[in-house]
Copies of this chain bind each other. A is one copy, B any other.
Amino acid sequence: MIKLLLADDQALVRGAMAALLDMEDDLKVVAEVGRGDEVVDAALAHEADVALLDVEMPGMDGVSAARDLHRALPSCKVLMVTTFGRAGYLRQAMAAGAGGFIVKDTPARQLADAVRRVHQGLRVVDPALAAQSLAQGDSPLTDREADVLRSARDGGTVADIARELHLSDGTVRNHLSSAIGKTGARTRAEAVRLAVDNGWLLS
């Protein structure tokens, strides 16, 4: 009997996936959490064998949670189950020790198999997504450029970003300009969108 931990911020989806997985004879959901920072404690308390983690969660993102969990309980495999097939997410999730990565677009009947494979130590990755991730390469942004883009996400002015990051206006403009150049965008907003779509703004 494989013991499962479910982590997803949407209670309805979480419960529905629990119902789906509990229908399998060899699987059992032993814990459900709605926040990233509750993953490790729950996994330890219930000795989970496989953890299904969403990427977008309050408290802590799923990739960071996977990293912590991999350290705290190496026997527990991780299967990332996420809405967005961002290549950057996949890359970072694998680096964080995840055993599999599937998007919520995949047919429901494949989920149980994916769990079993991850439990056996096999890697489960969407082929199309893997190809995209390989072709696209790693994030071209420096840490600071990513910081600035993150701060620019909610639409503030240069002055707002400078205040938030304790930088000079000019420095913020330089980082933005550099990020715009690297992403091939023509606008700050476009650069933000591209970086988000590629999953470059996680950590």
Contacts and interface: CB of A to CB of B under 8 A. Distances in A.
Given A155-B192, A187-B155, A16 B20 contact: yes
A31 interface: no
A105 B11 CA distance: 5
A23 interface: yes
A188 B14 CA distance: 36
A105 B155 contact: no
Question: How many identical chains are in the complex?
Answer: 2
Contact of A20 (B10, B19, B105, B155): B19
Contacts of A103: 12
Nearest to A83: B10
Given A16-B20, A17-B16, A19-B16, A108 B11 contact: yes
Interface of A: 9-20, 23, 81, 83, 102-109, 111, 152, 154-157, 185-193
8 tightest A-B contacts by CB?
A: A15-B108, A155-B189, A155-B190, A16-B16, A10-B104, A19-B20, A16-B20, A12-B104
